[in-house]
Every structure is written in C-alpha cells, then in structure tokens.
Structure 1
Amino acid sequence: MGRKKFVIIDAMSLAYKGYYAFISRPLYTSKGEPTSAVYGFLSQLFKILEDTKPDYVAIAFDSKEKTFRHDRYENYKSSREEMPEEMVPQIARIKEIIEAFNIPIYILPGYEADDLIGTAVRKAAEAGLTAYAITPDKDYVQLINDSVKVIKPGKSTDEIVVIDEKKVEEEYGIKPSQMVDYLALVGDSSDDIPGVAGIGPKTAAPLIRKFGSLEKIYENLDKIDKPSVVKKLIENKENAFLSKELATIKTDVPFDFNLEDARFTKPDFNKLMKIFGELEFRSFADKLKKIYTDENKEIEIPEDNGVKLAPEEYGSFDKTKINYKLITTEKEAVKLADKLSKTELFVFDTETDSLDIFNANLAGVSFSVKPGEAWFVAVNPERAKEELFASELTDRIPVEKFVEIFKPLFGNENIKKVCQNGKYDIAIMRTYGIEVKNFYFDTMLASYVIDPDQKHGMDELSAKYLQYKPIPLIELIGSKKTPEKIFEADLNKLAEYSCEDADITFRLYRILDDILKKEKLEKVAYEIEFPLVPVLEDMERTGVKIDVESLNEFSKELEIKLQSISKEIFSYSEEEFNINSTQQLQKVLFDKLKLPQTTKTKTGYSTDAKSLESLRGSHPIIELILEYRQIAKLKSTYADSLPNLINPKTGKIHTTYNQTVVSTGRLSSNDPNLQNIPIRSDLGKEIRKAFIPSSDGNIILSADYSQIELRIMASISGDENLIAAFEQGEDIHRRTAAMVFKVAPEEVTADMRRKAKEVNFGILYGLGPFGLKNRLGISQAHAKEIFENYFNSFKKVKQFMDESIEKARQKGYAETLTGRRRYLKNINSKNRTIRQFEERVAINMPIQGTAADMIKLAMIKIFKELNDRNSKTKMILQVHDELVFDMPKKELTELKPVIKNLMETAMPLNVPIVVDIGAGSNWLDAH
C-alpha cells in the first residue's frame, strides 16, 4: 500500500488563472454575475481531485493584511495591480464553494498563502504523507523533496503538470532547495523582489551550481571570472540577501494544522448543487458524480436545486400524450374561433420570421385552453407578395381572413388572454390591426415577480416547474439567429412546436398563478407588471423622433473638438500617436514623459479611467486625454449611433423596454439604452436636445419625480427630521448638512452641501465611511465623524437600516411597499463579503424597488387616462424617475396638471411627493 497523499491548493493563483483564461470572452450568468474565475477554479479543482485522488486536501488564501515581507521591504508586491473589480465577488463565491466541499481554508493575518502551504506540506511530510502543493508560482519549487512535489496547472484550465526534483534540475539547472538562491540573484518581477540588477538566469544558474548558495557565492567573489558580474554582485549585495529573505517560504508558521480536518470527505451536495444552479454551471454535476462515486455504489445527488443532472430524462414531445391540431382552412378557423369565444381564458402564441414588429411576417398563431390540447392556425402573411414564399404558402389561411375571423375574439374584453412574453405577441397582433384586450397573465413576468433572479425563459421554466424539455427551435429552422427560415420549416413540425409552446404556457400559468397567490404576490403581478405590458408596447411602437441634422452637426462639432484636443496632446508629447492605443499611450506617459507609475498590468502601466484620474494634476496632458475620451465616447455612442437606429418605416427610434432584467423592479432598455444618456455635462445635454416632438404642432413634456428615493426612505423609516424637511419644502441636502456639521442652514457652504448630498444618496446604496472617504477624498476619521453625526441627527434612518437587514435575515428576502420581493440567499452567509453585499441590497431594495413600483403604477394610470380621454398625447420615454410625452400643444394646458397629479398620487407616502414638470421644443428644454 502506497503512502497517503496530502494536497494543498494556492487558491488565488488558480482563481486568477481562471479569470485570465477567459479574459477575451468573460463568462457571466444570465443575470450578469461574472463567473470566469469561479469556473476556471472549479475546473482545475475537479481535475486535481480526479488526478491526484487525495486522502487529505486543504486550500490556502492570502490574507488582506500586510505581511512581514512588507515590513522588511516597502516595495514588496507594490506594482502588482489591484484585483479586478469583477474578481471580488468571485473570490467570495469560491470560498462559498470550498466550504460546501467541506475542504478547510487556511488563512492567517500577516502571512501569505505560500507560508501556510510551506508549513502544511512540511508537517504532512513529517507525518509520513506525500504532499502536493498546487500552484503555478515558481518560488514553490524550493519546497520540493522526496516527500513534497509541486503541481503546476498547465496552459488550459483542465491540464496539470507534476514537478519533482528531476524536473527542476532539467528546467533550471539547480536543485529545488537552491531556488531561493536563484531568486536572490534574478529577482522576481511578479513580487517586486529586486534581485541583483543585471544578473539573469544564464548567469545565476552556473554560479549556484559552482558555489552552492548565495552565501558561498559572496564568500568566493575572487573565484568568479567575469569582473562585470563581480561588480554587480558587490553593488547589489544588500538587495541580494534581502531578496533571498523575501523569496524564502516559511515552513514554521504558527497556525493550527490538524491533518484530520483535511481528510477528503464527501461534500454537502445540496449546497453545491444550489450554488451550481445560481452560477448556471451545467457540466459540474456529472464531474461530482465521477469523483465521488465509489466502485460499489453510485452516489445520489439532489436534483431540485436549480440544476437538473439529466435533462435527457425530462419529459419531451410525445404524440400519444397530447391532442394538437393543425388548422389550414377558413372553415376550421371559424369553428376554432367560435369554440374559443365560449371560454373564459385562452393562451395564444405567435410565430413570425423576425423580431422587428414593423417588418415581421406572421406564420401562424397557436391557442390552448387546457393542458395537452392546442391548435395551430397556419397563416400566409401575404405582406411580401414580391417574395417567392408568399405565393407558395397555399396550404395556409390568408392573413386578411385570419384577421377577419379572429379579431373579434382578441377584442372580446370578457375573455382573459395569457402569454409567455406577451408584449411581443400583442405587438404582432397590433401590427396586423388586431387589438388584444384583457391581457390577463404573462408567465415570464409571473416568474420574475416570484423570483427576479431566476431565469424566465420558457425552456428554463418548463424544466423547473414541469420537468419537461420543449422541442428546440433549432429542429425547425437550424438556428435561433435565422427566424426568417420559419416559412421553410415543415408545416406539421411547426404546428407541433407552436402548439407545444401554447400548451406549456397554459400549464405554467396554472402553476405560477397558484404560487403568486400562495406567496401573496398578486398585487405586484396583477396590478403592476401585467397591466404595464400594453403600456410599454404602445411606447415602443410610438417611438421617439430624433433631430438627425442636429446630431450630424453635433458629431462634426465633436470631431473638430477631438482634432483640437489631439493637437494639444501632441504638443505635450512632441509626437503624433494613436491616443486610443493603450500601448502607445503607455510609452508617451511613462517612458517619455516619466509620469508617476500607475497600477502594473501585463502590457505595462494602466491607462484606464481610474488610473488617469489618479494622475490628475501631475501633467496637463492627463486632463486632455480624459476630455478626449469623454468626447469620443459621446460621439460614437450617441451622436453617430442614434441616427443609425432610426426605423426607415417610421422615421423614429424604437427602444425596447425590459421588465425582467433588473432585480429591483426597475425597467431597463436597449437598442438604444436610454437609461445611460448623459445629462450632467453641457456636451451630454446636447444629446437630449436631439429628442424632438413628432410634428410641428407638438411639444415635449417631461415629468420627473423629485428626490423620490429619499422621500421613500423618509416615509418608510418615519424619521421626524427627514419628514419635517420634506413637509416644509426645504433643500434636503442643506438641511442634512446643517445637522451633520452642526451649523445654521444659512451657514452651510457649497462643500458642506456636496458632502451631505453624497451621504444622503450613499445611505440608500449602503455606502459606509470607507466609501465616503474615497468618494469625497477625505480622511477615514472625517468620514466616520460625518456618518456618526448623520445617524445622531436621523436616528430612525439607522433604525430602518438595521431593521431592514434583520427582516431580510428572518424572511430570506427584502420587499417593497407593494410586496415585490428580492430573495437574499446569502444574507446569513459566514462569508463576510457575500453577506455584506446582500445586507446593502436589504437596505436598498425596499427604497429603489418602491420607486420602481411607483412610476410603473403612474404609467398605467396615465396610459388609461389618456385613452379614456381619446387624447393624442403619447407617453414615449421612461428614464429612471422621469416620464416623457409627445403632446399636441393644444393639450398642454389640460393635461399637464393631470399627469402631475396622477404621478404624485400613484402611491401615497407619509411625505409630500413632488413632480417637476416642464415642456419645451425638445427633451432638454422640457427637462
């Protein structure tokens, strides 16, 4: 029987390796959570466990605190760039996964992972085990002996290489124990270990082979042939011995090493599967089975935590279990319409050849009124008679006949209509002149209301709630990216595909409706999300007119500005270069102009926005480069792009509003993203100026909630001082500044007000003293004092924050005033980073989510009011807390107070709600 194996992993090196392996194509979940580092780490972990088959396993992390090496050498790891922002939550996830694996984590303040690993492998070897240290770092080579080996992850994320004494001698020409002497001479740029300037591997290795160690080299300087090498050694003696000290891994760290704690045991499968589900890792379940199944018994892994292990075992299309019917004649269509007109509710689903509602051709519509039963009405669109397919589709109902037969059915207000992603289906029907009335339920939106962070697509919902795998679209048309091929698909197969969609939607409707009732989420679904669908459809269809000429002129102005700024930049650099090239910019700033070095990257010193901001004031060229970038972005993202997004049929821009993307309930938009249009800078405001009325007789009206999130916080917290400020119509930031800085309101300076404003809004997003310190550029002590004064002045705000976290801990979710929820699965996590993130969400969700609910309710009420009045005014944009209208000038006097009132009364609070409202010849003037 061989020696038992102890495996210990350098966590950060594997995490970084995974992160950079996917740097050109980063991984994200459907909700936007970054997962490259986690995926790479897990891939390596599974490979390590599978290949080494350890008896004992542990994982080491660096601590955040400075180590004894920093005390010895100030520049130790000083140029190492800050952890990428997207890595931070991934490290927390990795720790969460390690805990679920039941693998101990070694971490000790003041020591690096290297030292913990060095100590662990020594102790494991002394206990008679063969120890393996897993890391790509070459300094670990010094630990290698008969009982200790290093495993180096290879170039791909699933390849590993074992390094032993023989390999070290082959690669470096020295013994493993001499690696510290080698690093003392050549240094290590990744850790900023200086070494001996001018001595590289080709000189170092022969010296070590000849003399044995650094000490012996210095004892025998007279025996070294090359005077230049001797000179370098003498001049850099202090650095050489310091480097050896820094490179030496400690093997006597005082931490509690208990081998039994590291025994390789089965993980908490429930926890792991839950995490894999959240991260959407579909392949790792099978790897779990492979590693943890022994020869005699296959393990059972739970399948109810968001990842189904064997999708092939789901139910799938079976002709014997369903009753689907293809309708191809007018007679059959009339009979179906009559049957559906006698129902209380039906599901419908459209099939088209495009996502563009203005140009899509209708291929058919499916209907369902009970599980297992559905009909597909095949349609010949006849909208493109010049195209060959229109005359070939003779086995289908002409579209005008479809409209004639089914228009009364869709227009019947007594019959409820149900869809999956109904906004699109309603839009297609409307394009063909059919008004869908009494849109009642949307399964995609119901899923979002139940849990905004789960996936809401039909395939995912079908898998989760029905354990059923729908027919993939690829079987019909070859790819989701080629919808135009739908008319080439076999008609019977298309009918089965579409009928199944309607059938599944009906089944999901019954399940999700029950969940909404059980969880008391009906208000959010039936009073907010479902009624909002026709409102958004109308806004998207209406679109907004853009002044192309003014944007083109603006683009030319920006180009002239860019050329002018470029000349100024070149005058300082004394050469022309590509300002957009990172490498050329690095050479100019750091090699030529010798500016202070920023964070070190693989290609040199960082020139990202954060790094350049840190260089402000060091040279005039920095201000110019930052200005250049801002203008270039404005030009490419808006001035040049917006005209290209104009629909040739309507002459307008038609954004798409998404109800299921933002977890707080906020709407998002795309093509274009209107939520990010800049308003603070004068140049940014020029973009809003280009949004104009649809005709000369119209005007743009903007209605914007004033400080709505602060008002909601005042109302929910019940804080007397905040409420009083809003009731008296005071400047809330001035009032806050007066209380925080303990001065009279008239003594508040602009700087005091600015700081108070940062605190007021920062509180909403969980900003603490450290965040305020960075944001305002003040000391930590000053930031802490501001916060203490704030909470002393607004005691109930602090109470609200604490209670929000406590409620979320007890319930497992945060909720708005309407009952909208966001689940916080890690609010009680032992991992501080993950827990604190969710604590911030627990504070923010009730406020931001309530603001989202309020403006949605306002939109629904205003839309109804405008329709009831047969008004020509159209709501065209929703951006954050603002609604924008395209309005006939003659309706302004009548409707302006109506819109203001409906917004201010949409959801009453315990404080006054104020809407700032204005009109003008463009969006900027109105705002």
Structure 2
Amino acid sequence: MSKLILIDGNSIAYRAFFALPLLSNAKGLHTNAAYGFTTMLLKLVEEQNPSHFLVAFDAGKATFRHKDYAEYKGGREKTPPELSEQFPLIKELLAAMGIKQFELDGYEADDIIGTLTRLAYEDGGMDVIVVTGDKDMLQLVSERVSVALTRKGVSEIELYDPARLHEKYGLKPQQIIDLKGLMGDASDNIPGIPGVGEKTALKLLHEYGSVENVLEQAANIKGKLGEKVSQHADSARMSKELATIFREVPLELGWDDIRFQGYDRQAMADMFRKLEFKSLLEKMDLPAADAGTGAAETERLELDSMQRMTGDTLGELVDALPAVAALYVEVIGDNPHTADVIGISFAADEPLRSYYVPFGLLQDESCAAAGQVRDWLAAEDKSIAVYDLHRSIVALDWRGMKLGGVDFDVQLAGYLLDPTESTLTLDGLAARYGLPSLPSDEAVYGKGAKFQLPPEDKLSDHLCLKAAAVLRLTSRLKDALEKDGMHRLFYELELPLASVLAAMERKGFRVDTEELKAYGRELQARLEEIMQTIYDEAGTEFNINSPKQLGEILFDKLQLPVIKKTKTGYSTDAEVLEKLEPYHPLVGHILNYRTLAKLQSTYVEGLLKEVRPDTGKVHTYYKQTIAATGRLSSQYPNLQNIPIRLEEGRKIRKVFVPSEPGWRIVTADYSQIELRVLAHISQDEKLIEAFREGLDIHTKTAMDVFGVAEDEVDANMRRQAKAVNFGIVYGISDYGLSQNLNITRKDAAKFIEQYFAAFQGVRRYMDDIVKKAREHGYVTTLLQRRRYLPEIKASNFNLRSFAERTAMNTPIQGTAADIIKLAMVQMDERMKRENLRSRMLLQVHDELVFEVPEDEVGHMKKLVAEVMEQAIELDVPLKVDVDDGGNWYEAK
C-alpha cells in the first residue's frame, strides 16, 4: 500500500522556531527552525516509511482569499528575521534529503495539501498523513487521510482520524469549517462571531450541526448569544468560507514527481555539516565530507618516496632533517590534553619525499637517532610548516616533547582566508586549494564505534601524504594571505597566539577540590531547604523534577492559570514558570530550585570530573579556528560559560585558586569594548563624546533615546538602553529585542528607531558597511580579518537580510576579538622580556586571568592595564578594570 506524507511547511517551520532556543552555526546563521524541521522529517521517514513525500509552502502574502476579504491574515506580526533566514535552509535541506517541495502563487500550503488529499482519495490505493500545527487541516480527515497535529513544538504529534476527531470535539471533519466560522481564528484574522469561543461554538454545533443551521435558528437562541448570532451572520458565513480549504488547485504534479526514493546521503551530509548538525551526522552515520576528485588540480601530489622509519633506518631521517620543510603530528582524540599521539610525518622537497615515525619510536630513550629528532623538533632555529600548531604543541608537550621553529600553520591560514568555511580538515584544504584529493581520516580510521587504527603500512602512507600536503599547501596559502592583506594578521597575531594558548592551557588553573565539594554540600543543603519550603507551600510532598507531578500541583491543586499544554499534560518549562511567578510564591521557589540543581550537576559535579589528578588543575582547550568573528571558544571544560549573573554562579569562581602558596589571582577586563569599537568605526559624535568624557554609556543612551536629563534616567530606562546598545552590536532584530526586554515587537521596533535617530553616525555606518559588503563581497575588522558574505547579493530576501546584519556586526565583534588576542600576544612578550614569574591562565571573552607572585602584583596590575589599553589605538580610550584576590571570585 502506498503512503503519502504531506507537510505544511510554513506551519512546521514556525512551530520549530518558537519551540527551540535560538541556535546558530559558526557563520552566525540561525538554525533552530531548520534543526527542528529536520528532526521531524527524519522521524517521519523512519516511522512511516512513505512511498511519496511533499512539503508545501505558502508562495506569498496575496491569495485568492484576499480578494474576498482584504484583512485576511492582516493581524499577523512580521516574521522574525531569525526565522525568515531559515526558510532557504529548510528548502536546501529538503532537496538534499530527496523530498519534493512545492508552492504556487495565489494559493496557500493548505490548498495544495487539500488538493493532493482529494486526488489521493480519488485515485485510491494511497493512505495520506498530513503533518501541520494548524487545526484547520482537521477538515481533511477521512478514512484514508489522517492529520497529525504537532505538540511540544514538533517533537510530538497527535494523530487524528475520524474516530479521534469525534472523540475530541464531537464533530465530523466537515464541521471543522463550521467551528471556525463561528469562533473565528485570530491567527488568520478571521472574525467569526465576536464573543463566541471554542466552547460556545462546539455547543452550538452539537445542537444545530452547521453555521447555516445556527444562523437559521438564531431567533431560538436565548439571550445575548442569539443577538450576536443574528447581528454577525454575514461575518460567520464569510469566516466559514475563508476557513474552507480549496481543493481544486491546478497542480502540474504527478505521483511520480513526489515519489520518495530515499536520501541523497552525501548531499544530506554536506548540509548537516554546513549547519553543524553534529548529532544528526552521528545518528544517521553519514559519509565523510567529499574532498573532491582532484579533477581541477594544477599539479599531481606524487611523492618520490614514502618511508616508514624503524630503529634501524631512523638515521636516514636524521640526515634528511635539514631539508625538511613540513611536518604533521597525528593526534587521535578530541581533547589534545588527553588524546593519543600516533606518530609524526616529515616532508622534504626537491625531490618530494616523506618519512613516518611511529611515536613510540620517537620516545625511545635508548635510540640515539630518536633523541636527535626530538632535539630537532624542539629547536627554534628552523622554519617549518605544520597543520594545527596549537593542537600539536599541546599534545607533544604532555608527552615531554617540544615543538619549535614553526613559521606557518596551514589550518590557521585556511581559517583566516575563509572563516566561514567548515571544512578545515587537511583533505578539505587540499581540495579547496587545487591539490589532488587525500583520503579522509574517516575513510582510513572509520568512525565512532567503528574507529580503529589501520595496518602500519596503510597508516604510514596516510600520514606521509598528509605531511606532503602540508608542504604543498604552504606556498599557496602564503600567497593567498599576502594577496588578501592578512599577512600581518597571520604572522603578528594568530600564529604567535597559537603558542600562547598552548602554554596557557598546559599551565592550567588550579581548582581547590575540597572547596568545590564544600560548595556542593552547601548547594545540596540549600536544595533540601528549598525542597521543604516547596512541600510546605504545596501542602504535600511530590517529585519536583517530574513535570507531570509539578503540573498537577500548580494547575489542579493551586488552580494557577494554564499557560501551555503538551500531549502529556501541562507544560512547566522555564518560560511558563516565569509567567506564573507573580501568581504564587511556590513558583519562585521552583525556579530557584532548578537554578541551584543545574549549578550542582553542571558546575560542581561536572567540574570535579575535569580536574586532572596529576596536576590538581583543569586544562581547558581553546579552539582558535571555530568562530567566524575570530572569537576563541573554550572546551574540556568550557571555562567561558561559568555563570556570573547570579551570585550562586559567581561563587563557583571561588574554587579557582593560585597554584603557588602566597600567590594572587589578577583579572583584567575590557570595559564595553564592543561599544567603544562601534564608536570608533561609526565615528558617531555622541558615542565618541560619551566615551572620551567617561560617561556611563547606557545612561547616556537612555538620555538621548528617551530625551531626558541624566537625573531622570531610572533603572528600567538604563536596562532598556543597555539591551539596545548590545543588541545593535549583535545585529538584533525587533523580535530579538522584544524577547530580551519582554516588550511587544512594535515597541521594540520603535525603540530601535529612536536609537538610530539619536545616534545617526551609527545609522550611517550600518548603511555604508552594507554597501561596501555588497561591492566587495566581504567585510573586514580593523586588523583586516575578513568575513565573506556571498549571500549579500542573493535574490532571496531572507538570505540577503541575514548577510546585511552580519555585515553590520562582524567588524565590531571581530575587532573586539582581535584586540584582546593582540593584548594576549603582547602581554606574553612583555612578561617574557621582563622575566616575570607571573602566568597568564585564561581568556574569558573580554577578560584575562593571571596568577601572580605577591611581589609582582603591583607591577602586573599596572603592566596589564597598560598593555591592554594600548593594544590598539582608537579614537576613544580603551578602559580596563584590573583587580586581584586570593581566588578568581575575589579578583572580580
């Protein structure tokens, strides 16, 4: 039996967007709706095994219904740009997954779906499942058509057949349009009969059967309801007509056109990588990135020789070391602090040859040649290229080996040349820069549970090819950096930073585990206190972590207003609880309980697992080539995410202490660096004046936006001004600002317009940078870091709008990231030059953290402020707040 699945594309995209938190990939492209949509598609295919599949979209705003009722859907708010930009992604995903999509001018997705359900019924032999978030679609239910209404966003569905529909509403499918005719639909601006809700409409239909019968019997309906029915008879008829799905759309689609023949696994893998759906890549066991066929190569990567070294032959490599120009360190594992080093391959040119040395051989203290290779690796008086210098230094350092004399990193160069490129693997870089395709690591080692080291000869050849690829890529990437004006950014900032990061991570940050455990006990005691308070308020004991039991307490026992329901009962998510907090003190205690429970599990128990027993420290790992803006990201553990807004979260910093007795922790934090960069780049006179005069920028913004004097700015005004200040930096939309401030989108849009009216230099900058991006195809930071924006000229409005917002905020965010990284490199140089014992331990966004001997504290506080404030010259002063304390908490 054939099975057809029809998806209401717009409805599902909307529900996925509002159900999931805003997610974005490294390019800054929002992906939450695309992710939710994709997971639903995968689940449907797995569970339903359809023979035919189609996703229908609305083609535009104007449909035939607008001719009869111009206000149809007139009350809808404009689609948030964070969602609009995802529709093209969803359509790309559908194409990659082999799922047909369709839209037609003048008609809605409902009409396309309705027509196809009719045709499927008439042709016979096909069962249909319609997936939507819109109850209007229930009118399509029949013996052969089931309608799946989404619940809990799109993660669950409720399936309706005629029996289920009658059980839930006491109606037949065709009566759904009568229901809408009577009660209307605010989301579509269908008026219905004013004052008639679902309960009343159902009562009328159960008694009279249809809109027409209700209108005919209006005189017999008692009281004001009968009067309303009589007065709004025309509205009811029109509303029923508007709610009726048109099932005669002229479709030029045959069943073969929408036949589902399975996924294009390579195309789907490419899209999942682009959107960084890592969990879905893993779940679907998708193939490795296609590194290309090498058809466009300009030269062959043919080695004159590839040799696997043994104890007897290692002397040949020693003799060849003066000619070696590139090497590759094979590190297996995500975290280089704990990963395995398999071996190192070396490449020399003219003739092109490679040597592979197993790591165990390099560590052999009894082998004289191995000692000579180790000495050569550590020497600074050489010039070699590598792949991923930072990772290589860290992995080797833990195993007692040094790596010096590196003057080029092909991964780092590839990242700078296009930071939005997700394929920075060596095989990906080779394909991107015209070399023949290399075998991917996945092809050689396998993936996930299937991972295993290949035979020694295959491993040797693979690593020899990698070293040769590093060598061949080097000249090409050097030329590209020079051509794009990023020579200084690479050599003076990013390359030296790799070594600085490696040294910071290797030093690590000591954690007082006893203090951490004590804080865990304190949290546990507070959790137990709050738990008892919750039981007292509720009048009974229950499982606080059970949404079902909590829902029964809040909504059945305490009779609090129901905000949202799910398939399994009442919703008790954070959004619901925040709205309920004013109604009962119990809700505030629940929110507090959840906050402390997360601190306990994530930051107490989680951090204890990350402390290395041999050092008593945590050794985070900074990813240098992830964010398109140039920001660093921290992993294993993520020390940039330790909460600081709540006092309970800030207390976690108390456990981070100096590693030497009598030493102090010194912190230095840039004050409002992104807003200062904005002032410099935009040349806005008011912003420049505010920073030069040392005014509080959020108060100044509130004064200018609200048109009030300084002493009239209240806390709420300043809070709103702060939100819009940082919102401008991050390209926030009216939707985003409305969510941050809990105000309407209309008020948020007005606020943004008031801001631009007050700060006209910022408005000019925003307009000018978009023009430049359109002209050149990219934007740059003050240090010439590039970000390409190919979508800036896209015909699709949503893609183009996303690129425009990215063009506005990338120079600001990117320059701020460049400045603190430049300060790190300069601080490292100054500390070495002055032979200080102090150590740089962390970078957390705009903050640097040091551990400092008592006798160097005064000097270091002056030095770090000087270096950070003079890292770059702007038209406004950079300001750094420097503090010290016995632990990280006290120093903040």
Question: For the superposition of Structure 1 and Structure 2, which TM-score range results when normalised by the shorter chain?
Answer: 0.7 to 0.9
Question: For 2:214 and 2:84, how far apart are their aligned partners in 1?
Answer: 44
Alpha-carbon offset, residue 376 of structure 1:
0.8
Alpha-carbon offset, residue 45 of structure 1:
13
Q: 1:189 to 1:653 in 2, by over 3 A?
A: farther
Aligned match of 1:595 in 555, 560, 576? 560
Aligned match of 2:314 in 302, 320, 333? 333
Are 1:141 and 1:168, in contact at CA under 8 Å, matched by a contact in 2?
A: no
Alpha-carbon offset, residue 686 of structure 1:
0.7
Tell me what 1:12 maps to.
10
Aligned sequence identity (%):
35
Question: For 1:119 and 1:475, how far apart are their aligned partners in 2?
Answer: 47
Are 2:166 and 2:172, in contact at CA under 8 Å, matched by a contact in 1?
A: no
Aligned match of 1:367 in 339, 342, 346? 346
Tell me what 2:649 maps to.
684
2:662 counterpart of 1:667:
no
**In structure 2, the residue corresponding to 1:925 is in which secondary structure?**
coil
Q: Gaps spanning 5+ residues in structure 1: where?
A: 1-5, 156-166, 221-233, 267-271, 283-305, 384-396
Question: For 1:131 and 1:433, how far apart are their aligned partners in 2?
Answer: 68
Q: Which amino acid in the other structure matches residue 93 of structure 1?
A: L
Q: 1:281 to 1:134 in 2, by over 3 A?
A: farther
Aligned match of 2:425 in 441, 446, 457? 457
Tell me what 1:407 maps to.
374
Are 1:323 and 1:373, in contact at CA under 8 Å, matched by a contact in 2?
A: yes
Aligned match of 2:357 in 372, 377, 380? 377
Question: For 1:532 and 1:425, how far apart are their aligned partners in 2?
Answer: 14
Question: For 1:64 and 1:889, how far apart are their aligned partners in 2?
Answer: 72
Alpha-carbon offset, residue 850 of structure 1:
0.3
Are 2:688 and 2:876, in contact at CA under 8 Å, matched by a contact in 1?
A: yes
Q: 1:469 to 1:602 in 2, by over 3 A?
A: farther
Alpha-carbon offset, residue 688 of structure 1:
1.2
Are 1:193 and 1:247, in contact at CA under 8 Å, matched by a contact in 2?
A: no
Aligned match of 2:472 in 501, 507, 514? 507
Are 1:104 and 1:261, in contact at CA under 8 Å, matched by a contact in 2?
A: no
Q: 1:559 to 1:853 in 2, by over 3 A?
A: same
Q: State the Cα deviation string for residues 110-140 of structure 1 (Å, max 9, x = none).
A: x964257658999x99xx9x99998346965
Aligned match of 1:442 in 392, 409, 414? 409
Are 1:185 and 1:195, in contact at CA under 8 Å, matched by a contact in 2?
A: no
1:351-366 to structure 2, matched below 5 A, reads: 351=330, 362-366=341-345
Are 2:138 and 2:176, in contact at CA under 8 Å, matched by a contact in 1?
A: no
2:803 counterpart of 1:838:
yes
Q: State the Cα deviation string for residues 783-803 of structure 1 (Å, max 9, x = none).
A: 555444433332211111121
Q: State the Cα deviation string for residues 293-319 of structure 1 (Å, max 9, x = none).
A: xxxxxxxxxxxxx9859879999xx99
Alpha-carbon offset, residue 700 of structure 1:
0.7
Tell me what 1:393 maps to.
none
Tell me what 2:279 maps to.
none
Question: For 2:502 and 2:468, how far apart are their aligned partners in 1?
Answer: 24
Tell me what 2:220 maps to.
none
Question: For 1:53 and 1:761, how far apart are their aligned partners in 2?
Answer: 44
Question: For 1:247 and 1:653, how far apart are their aligned partners in 2?
Answer: 65
Tell me what 2:222 maps to.
none
Q: Which amino acid in the other structure matches residue 173 of structure 2?
A: M
Q: Gaps spanning 5+ residues in structure 2: where?
A: 151-160, 188-196, 218-224, 259-264, 276-287
**In structure 2, the residue corresponding to 1:348 is in which secondary structure?**
strand
Are 1:7 and 1:58, in contact at CA under 8 Å, matched by a contact in 2?
A: no
Question: For 2:215 and 2:768, how far apart are their aligned partners in 1?
Answer: 66
Alpha-carbon offset, residue 248 of structure 1:
6.5
Q: Which amino acid in the other structure matches residue 364 of structure 1?
A: G
Tell me what 1:569 maps to.
534
Q: 1:751 to 1:671 in 2, by over 3 A?
A: same
Alpha-carbon offset, residue 854 of structure 1:
0.6
Q: Which amino acid in the other structure matches residue 640 of structure 1?
A: E
**In structure 2, the residue corresponding to 1:908 is in which secondary structure?**
coil
**In structure 1, the residue corresponding to 2:871 is in which secondary structure?**
coil
Question: For 1:183 and 1:529, how far apart are their aligned partners in 2?
Answer: 63
Tell me what 1:494 maps to.
459
Question: For 1:768 and 1:440, how far apart are their aligned partners in 2?
Answer: 43
Tell me what 1:323 maps to.
305
1:492-571 to structure 2, matched below 5 A, reads: 492-571=457-536
Tell me what 2:717 maps to.
752
Aligned match of 1:738 in 703, 727, 731? 703
Alpha-carbon offset, residue 63 of structure 1:
6.2
Tell me what 2:90 maps to.
94
Tell me what 2:679 maps to.
714
Q: State the Cα deviation string for residues 598-651 of structure 1 (Å, max 9, x = none).
A: 233333332222222122201111111111111111111112221221111111
Tell me what 1:430 maps to.
397
Alpha-carbon offset, residue 552 of structure 1:
1.2
Are 2:682 and 2:762, in contact at CA under 8 Å, matched by a contact in 1?
A: yes
Q: 1:767 to 1:29 in 2, by over 3 A?
A: closer
Q: Which amino acid in the other structure matches residue 740 of structure 2?
A: R
Question: For 1:838 and 1:378, how far apart are their aligned partners in 2?
Answer: 47
Alpha-carbon offset, residue 273 of structure 1:
11
Are 1:324 and 1:372, in contact at CA under 8 Å, matched by a contact in 2?
A: no
Deviates more, 1:869-878 or 1:751-760: 751-760
Tell me what 1:820 maps to.
785
Q: Which amino acid in the other structure matches residue 12 of structure 1?
A: N
Question: For 1:540 and 1:195, how far apart are their aligned partners in 2?
Answer: 66
Are 2:335 and 2:636, in contact at CA under 8 Å, matched by a contact in 1?
A: no
Question: For 1:333 and 1:795, how far apart are their aligned partners in 2?
Answer: 68
Question: For 1:635 and 1:83, how far apart are their aligned partners in 2?
Answer: 39
Are 2:306 and 2:353, in contact at CA under 8 Å, matched by a contact in 1?
A: yes
Q: 1:362 to 1:753 in 2, by over 3 A?
A: closer
Aligned match of 2:130 in 124, 135, 147? 135
Question: For 2:302 and 2:648, how far apart are their aligned partners in 1?
Answer: 65
Are 2:26 and 2:626, in contact at CA under 8 Å, matched by a contact in 1?
A: no
**In structure 2, the residue corresponding to 1:350 is in which secondary structure?**
strand
Q: 1:83 to 1:646 in 2, by over 3 A?
A: farther
Question: For 2:878 and 2:703, how far apart are their aligned partners in 1?
Answer: 23
Tell me what 1:179 maps to.
173
Aligned match of 1:911 in 855, 858, 876? 876
Are 1:28 and 1:36, in contact at CA under 8 Å, matched by a contact in 2?
A: no
Q: 1:14 to 1:558 in 2, by over 3 A?
A: closer
Tell me what 1:855 maps to.
820
Alpha-carbon offset, residue 884 of structure 1:
0.4
Deviates more, 1:612-621 or 1:399-408: 399-408
Alpha-carbon offset, residue 335 of structure 1:
3.6
Question: For 1:503 and 1:785, how far apart are their aligned partners in 2?
Answer: 58
Deviates more, 1:822-831 or 1:771-780: 771-780
**In structure 2, the residue corresponding to 1:577 is in which secondary structure?**
coil
Question: For 2:524 and 2:37, how far apart are their aligned partners in 1?
Answer: 43
Aligned residues between the structures: 818
**In structure 2, the residue corresponding to 1:687 is in which secondary structure?**
helix
Alpha-carbon offset, residue 254 of structure 1:
14
Are 2:389 and 2:499, in contact at CA under 8 Å, matched by a contact in 1?
A: no
**In structure 1, the residue corresponding to 2:582 is in which secondary structure?**
coil
Q: Which amino acid in the other structure matches residue 548 of structure 1?
A: T
1:467-478 to structure 2, matched below 5 A, reads: 468-471=436-439, 473=441
Question: For 1:29 and 1:765, how far apart are their aligned partners in 2?
Answer: 14
Tell me what 1:649 maps to.
614
**In structure 1, the residue corresponding to 2:602 is in which secondary structure?**
helix
Q: 1:350 to 1:189 in 2, by over 3 A?
A: farther
Are 1:904 and 1:913, in contact at CA under 8 Å, matched by a contact in 2?
A: yes
**In structure 2, the residue corresponding to 1:827 is in which secondary structure?**
helix
Alpha-carbon offset, residue 849 of structure 1:
0.5
Tell me what 1:114 maps to.
110
Are 1:379 and 1:398, in contact at CA under 8 Å, matched by a contact in 2?
A: no
Question: For 1:112 and 1:629, how far apart are their aligned partners in 2?
Answer: 43
Q: State the Cα deviation string for residues 210-229 of structure 1 (Å, max 9, x = none).
A: x9989789999xxxxxxxxx
